[in-house]
Structures are given as C-alpha cells and as structure tokens.
Amino acid sequence: MSLNNTLTHSRILVVDDEPVNLRLVERVLALEGYDGLSLISDPRRAVEEYQQHRFDLVLLDINMPGMDGFEVLEAIKALEPEMLPPVIMLTAQHDKSFRLKALSMGVRDFITKPFDRDELLMRVGNLLQLQMGLRMIHDQKNVLEELVQQRTEELYNSRLDLVQRLGRAAEYKDEETGSHILRVSHGAALLARALGWDDEQIKLIFNASPMHDIGKLGVPDAILRKPGRLTPEEFDQIKLHTLIGAELLDGANENDPLLQMAKSIALSHHEKWDGSGYPLGLAGEAIPIEGRIVAIVDVFDALTSERPYKKSWSIEDAAALIRDNRGKHFDPELVDLFFAHFEQICQLRQQFSE
C-alpha cells in the first residue's frame, strides 16, 4: 500500500456547527480519496464520537453554541493525554492572543475560513504524515518496552531458578528436602504479609529465603550428618555456615535486591532477639527483619521435621518452644503474628509435606 493510500484511510474528525462548512470539508477531502471522515455539527457529540474511534486528525471549529472548540479540545485531551492526534483549528479569527491560547492547548495548525481547497489538503496531508510517523515511533516504543520487560523477566526467572537450586543443594547436603525450603519460603511470605509488606517485598523474601542455609555447602559432611550430639568444636563448625553463606553471596550485585536480601538472611537467621545468637551476637531490631522472620519459620519447621540426627517434635511441643522463647530467641511481635496465623502455618506442613 502506498503512502497516499495509507493516508486516505486515516480517520478524521471534523467538528463545526455550520452544516455548509461540514459539507465543504467533506467534499474536498472525499474527492481526494479520504474515506474515514466523521462529521459532527453538535460539539457536545464530539467526545462521544471520539471515544468510539481512534482518530488520526481533528478539524475543530472554535465558535460553537453549547460547547466551544476549546472545551471540546480539553475533553478530548482528558481522554487521550499521551497520544493526542494533531488538531487543526477552523477559524476566522486573527487575534494573536486567541492563537497563542490555541497553541498552548496543543493545536498544531490553523485553517482560516473561508477554506482554500489546496491549503486544506496540504495542511491535512502534512499533519497526517506527521501523525503516522509519531504513531509508528510510539508503537515501536511499546513493542520494545514489552520485549525488554519480557527479557528482564526471563533473566529474573533464570537467576531465581539458580538461587532455588543452590538452596536445595544446601538442604540435600544436610539430608533435608526441598519441602523444607518451600515451607520456609511460604511461611516467611505469610509473616511478611502479616507485617504489612508490599507485594514486591513479599516476593523478595519468598525467593531469597531458600538461600538461608547455602553456607552449609562449606561445612564438612561428617559434622552435618553426624547422628549423635555435636561437640562444642563441631557446633562451632556448624555456626560458620552463616558466615560462609554471606561470603558466597558477598559478590552479589549491590543493586540486586534479591541477592542482597538472600545474603542478609544467610548471615542473620541464627541471631537471637536477646543477643545470644550467632555469628555477630546482634540483638533486637539490630537484627535485620528478614532474618528475624526466617528464624522463626525455620526453627519451627526444623523442630517438626525428622532428620538422621533427631526425631521430629510434635506441633504442640514446637509451638510451646516458640511461645516460651518470645522475647528471647524470637522477635515478640513476630511470635504474636506467628500464632495469629498458626492455622495457616500448619496448613503449609500439609501442603508441602515430605
């Protein structure tokens, strides 16, 4: 299709309360091949017509009863603020202030009444070509933005898959299962939502918490899988998994909130509210909130899960330990939220059973 043919199929809205003017514009444009004309003599119907079609050009009279051209223009701009089609004012006025007001409102051109055929055709054709170019740029921009968003999501999902696989590798090394990761992730998200976090932050802790024990990859298997009680020296080796995990994630991009939160959780999820935890002995709100959240769901799930070195606790006994350690091991507010949503926490155990 040639450029001229493309232009003649453009949709053009003409608003003028004088029927003779409408017939004149229609005749001139139709003889040139324009077939997408909408002619409105009542300016109050212009907005309704505009809502039904995507116009490429608007020819607008100024002095009209009921609703003048400026009011029509304001109403149209409110409907399509980002991509207003070019507007040609049809007017017999030559006053400078009038023209400046029209230009300030977005009018692109003027046609003086009575119309000159050639001038009308050239001004309409020029603005339609301009609008076609702008729409192509706008549409290409939208396509590029969609492609960038799609690619960003693909990269995020690939990175997220790697994070989750590394988290599972750490759990398998300790002879735990991927179900533990799922329960901790969902439990952490549940408490974060109860705290009033927004969706983006909830998504972050859900996806970062699987890395909480990544440092176990650096702890000897003989210690991790020892069926009996650990010696003080062996327990010191276990404690190092928090530092090892933080070190593994330390090279993460500082602008990457997912890996930064994963690093924070890996380092702080064994700190205790009263300062008796490890590795840094942080206390109270000095412990990052994400570490405090993961601590409580991780301990509860670990207690109620069977491992080679221990039997599983009953839900009641594990809940009693959480309650007894309110303000000692765990953030008091989080303990209260934990029990306020205890039924949902227990449902996670059924949903993601071993």
For residues 8 and 283, the model is more confident at 283
Our count of domains for the chain comes to 2
pLDDT at residue 2 in the model: 41
Task: State the chain's mean pLDDT as an integer.
Answer: 85
Peptide bond preceding 257 in cis form (omega within 30 of 0):
no
Same domain membership, residue 226 and residue 101: no
Please, what is the angle between helix 342-351 and helix 332-340, to 10°? 70
Peptide bond preceding 65 in cis form (omega within 30 of 0):
no
Residue 341 counted as domain residue: yes
Strand partners, 109: 88
Same domain membership, residue 241 and residue 135: no
Distance separating alpha carbons of residues 309 and 317, to the nearest angstrom: 18
Under 8 Å between Cβ of 108 and 147: no
Q: Which pLDDT tens digit goes with each residue over 66-101? A: 888 888 888 888 887 667 888 888 887 777 887 888
> For residue 78, what are the contacts with CB-CB under 8 A and spacing of at least 6?
none
Same domain membership, residue 42 and residue 89: yes
Q: Give 3-state DSSP helix, strand, coil % of the chain, rounded to 5.
A: 60, 10, 30
Same domain membership, residue 332 and residue 225: yes
Assess whether pLDDT exceeds 60 at residue 41. Answer: yes
> For residue 336, what are the contacts with CB-CB under 8 A and spacing of at least 6?
326
pLDDT at residue 354 in the model: 65
Residue 161 counted as domain residue: no
Q: Average the pLDDT over 271-295 and give the result.
A: 97
Could you tell me the two tokens for 223? 């210690």
pLDDT at residue 3 in the model: 44
Of 44, 72, 48, residue with least CA distance to 60: 72
Confidence band for 288, pLDDT divided at 50, 70 and 90: very high
Of 118, 115, 86, residue with least CA distance to 102: 86
The DSSP element (H or E) to which 315 belongs, if any, is helix 315-324
For residues 163 and 10, the model is more confident at 10
pLDDT at residue 197 in the model: 97
For residues 112 and 315, the model is more confident at 315
Same domain membership, residue 196 and residue 132: no
High-pLDDT (> 70) share of the chain, %: 88
For residues 190 and 153, the model is more confident at 190
Same domain membership, residue 140 and residue 279: no
Residue 33 counted as domain residue: yes
Q: Which pLDDT tens digit goes with each residue over 108-152? A: 888 888 888 888 898 888 888 887 877 777 677 777 777 777 776
Same domain membership, residue 301 and residue 187: yes
Residue 50 counted as domain residue: yes
Of 205, 215, 207, 349, residue with least CA distance to 291: 205
Residue 160 counted as domain residue: no
Assess whether pLDDT exceeds 80 at residue 5. Answer: no
Same domain membership, residue 85 and residue 10: yes
SS3 76: helix
Confidence band for 1, pLDDT divided at 50, 70 and 90: very low
Assess whether pLDDT exceeds 80 at residue 306. Answer: no
Same domain membership, residue 271 and residue 319: yes
3-state SS of the chain?
A: CCHHHHHHCCEEEEECCCHHHHHHHHHHHHHCCCCEEEEECCHHHHHHHHHHCCCCEEEEECCCCCCCHHHHHHHHHHHCCCCCCCEEEEECCCCHHHHHHHHHCCCCEEEECCCCHHHHHHHHHHHHHHHHHHHHHHHHHHHHHHHHHHHHHHHHHHHHHHHHHHHHHHHHHCCCCHHHHHHHHHHHHHHHHHCCCCHHHHHHHHHHHHHCCHHHHHCCHHHHCCCCCCCHHHHHHHHHHHHHHHHHCCCCCCCCHHHHHHHHHHHHCCCCCCCCCCCCCCCHHHCCHHHHHHHHHHHHHHHCCCECCECCCCHHHHHHHHHHCECCCECHHHHHHHHHCHHHHHHHHHHCCC
Residue 153 counted as domain residue: no
299: CATH? 1.10.3210.10
Assess whether pLDDT exceeds 70 at residue 55. Answer: yes
Q: Average the pLDDT over 197-224 and give the result.
A: 89
91: CATH? 3.40.50.2300
Same domain membership, residue 135 and residue 34: yes
Residue 158 counted as domain residue: no
Same domain membership, residue 222 and residue 113: no
Residue 164 counted as domain residue: no
Assess whether pLDDT exceeds 80 at residue 279. Answer: yes
Same domain membership, residue 260 and residue 337: yes
Q: Give me the amino acid identity at 122.
A: M
For residues 137 and 285, the model is more confident at 285
Angle, CA of 302, 308 and 309, to the nearest 5°: 75
pLDDT at residue 156 in the model: 65
Assess whether pLDDT exceeds 90 at residue 258. Answer: no
Give the range of the structural domain holding residue 316, as residue numbers without chain letter. 174-351
